Amino acid sequence: MNRKPTILLSGLALSAAVALAGCGKGRGAAPAPEAPAKTAEKVEEPATPQRVHLTAAAIAEAGITTWKVQIVDLSHILSLTGSVGFDENRLLLVAANVKGRVTSIPVDLGARVKPGDPLLVIESVDLGRTREEFVTELSSFNVSASAYERARKLVEANAISAGEFQAREGDYLAKKTAVASAERTLHLYGDSEETIARLRANAVDHRLSAADGATLTLRAPFAGRVIDRKVTSGALFEALQPLMTIADLGSVWVFLNAYEKDLALLHEGLSVTLRTDAYPQETFRGRVDFLGSVVDPQTRSVRVRATVENRSEKLRPGLFVTAQVDVPKPQSEAHPIVAVPQSAIQRLEGRSTVFVQVEPGVFQRHYVEVGHSFEGFTEILAGIKAGDVVATEGSFVLKSEFAKASLVEED
């Protein structure tokens, strides 16, 4: 069974911190947990660390909340990057098996289509000629079939010679083969059973209806969206030339890059959690269903594919993503780390920075060295320790306050 990281979210609203002000002003950082805590290495700070003071009213107005730094086990998380692609099992290049001309396009770019919806109406001289041949061959076959049946009865009654019967039988079989060949060609060109049945009816009175002349409607085989149109009405095209593309974006493939050292951890069926800068507050989930068989000689990585449900269609092909793959390890390989919510980290003077609450209403900046990000958290390699209380939501307000303080010092 996959082990999940246990993260005790001891988020403290600063209003509660202010209520505890009676516990002693000038007090140091929040005490670490009773159990021995892992401490990130120290990052060099300014000789006189800057602090800012905010009133309880200012803290409430800015919506600043805090979080107690925790130790988590990252042994089951493998961070990878990649991009979104089409689910190629739900992607269709629309083309005709016969050359011709586009007469109309009932759907526009971006339109949603259902199975059986018309996509293009085409006209083809070759298709019309083959339909005419089918009707002609079928009419001739019907006559030959009647003659063959009469000859069979006559030869049984010794009314005609065996040679004459064989001649009529040969003509019957030849015409039967010609009809079957024309029907196969019509199927290849895209005619449905319904259309061919109508042509068979036409053969009775040796005619070809206007509806079945030389036109053909290309229809959607599954539900999806028109993502590309390569022709306009009136355009001429060759057989098998792509005319349109439809895709079902309710399912997408995500292609990730895994390095050689991580291959032993990966296998089909692992769960994947995805994030993208386009929708930073949302996660998308899927499963690994393919591991590449070849290592890229340039990047020393292997392609990993995950299939992800995408009913909202927010994951668009080409979008860059980060992924956390759940890869359980033995307990002996546990890897506890110091981690904070990603919202706690700001860039100040070009460096990753968090703001530690040293006493109610007082925040001190700490430069930190960051590691991997996973499930909304970021690993802290150096700069703070477990038990410190850091600003999370609203930390950008503190960043602004420190920036103001720096300008005052320069003056």
pLDDT in tens, 160-215: 999 999 999 999 999 999 999 999 999 999 999 999 999 998 887 666 665 578 99
Query: pLDDT band at 411, cuts 50/70/90?
Result: low
CA distance 382 to 65: 22
More confident residue, 5 or 357: 357
- In the chain, what percentage of residues exceed pLDDT 70? 82
- Domain end residue (candidates: 245, 264, 296): 245
Q: Are residues 183 and 241 in the same domain?
A: yes
Residue at 364 is within a domain: yes
What mean pLDDT comes out for the span 320-340?
76
Q: Are residues 182 and 110 in the same domain?
A: yes
- Domain end residue (candidates: 179, 210, 245): 245
Enclosing domain of residue 23: 11-76+334-410
pLDDT tens readout for residues 258-316: 999 889 889 999 999 999 999 988 889 999 999 999 999 999 999 999 999 999 999 99
Instruction: Tell me, rounded to whole angstroms, the distance of Cα 22 from its chain centroid.
Output: 53
Q: Are residues 83 and 71 in the same domain?
A: no
| Unique residue bearing structure tokens 């068979």 | 200
Q: Are residues 162 and 231 in the same domain?
A: yes
Residue at 27 is within a domain: yes
Residue at 31 is within a domain: yes
Helix (H) or strand (E) holding 60: helix 56-62
Q: Are residues 236 and 275 in the same domain?
A: no
pLDDT tens readout for residues 362-394: 888 899 998 877 667 888 889 888 889 988 888
Nearest to 366 by CA among 69, 165, 120: 69
Q: Identify the DSSP state of 159.
A: S
CATH number of the domain within which 81 lies: 2.40.30.170
What mean pLDDT comes out for the span 17-32?
38
- Domain end residue (candidates: 218, 245, 272): 245
CATH number of the domain within which 392 lies: 2.40.420.20
Residue 338 clears pLDDT 60, i.e. is over it: yes
pTM of the model: 0.65
CA distance 194 to 208: 15
Residue at 1 is within a domain: no
Q: What is the pLDDT of residue 33?
A: 43
Q: What is the pLDDT of residue 26?
A: 38
- In the chain, what percentage of residues exceed pLDDT 90? 54
Residue at 183 is within a domain: yes
Helix (H) or strand (E) holding 155: helix 125-156
Q: Are residues 208 and 104 in the same domain?
A: yes
Q: Name the maximum alpha-carbon separation found in the chain.
A: 126
pLDDT tens readout for residues 35-72: 444 445 545 544 334 788 888 888 888 888 888 888 87
What mean pLDDT comes out for the span 220-229?
97
> What's the number of domains the chain is made of?
3
Residue at 235 is within a domain: yes
Q: Are residues 82 and 106 in the same domain?
A: no
Alpha-carbon Rg for the chain in angstroms: 36
More confident residue, 324 or 231: 231
Residue at 297 is within a domain: yes
> How much is the mean pLDDT over the chain?
84
Q: What is the pLDDT of residue 406?
A: 65
Q: Are residues 43 and 55 in the same domain?
A: yes
Q: What is the pLDDT of residue 75?
A: 62
pLDDT tens readout for residues 130-149: 999 999 999 999 999 999 99
Q: How many CB atoms lie under 10 A from the CB of residue 181?
A: 13
Q: Are residues 111 and 207 in the same domain?
A: yes
Q: How many CB atoms lie under 10 A from the CB of residue 139?
A: 18
Q: What is the pLDDT of residue 287?
A: 97
What mean pLDDT comes out for the span 327-350?
75
Residue at 4 is within a domain: no
Q: What is the pLDDT of residue 97?
A: 97
Q: Are residues 29 and 137 in the same domain?
A: no
Lowest mean pLDDT, pick from 12-26, 108-122, 339-353, 396-410: 12-26
Q: Are residues 292 and 167 in the same domain?
A: no
Q: Are residues 44 and 109 in the same domain?
A: no
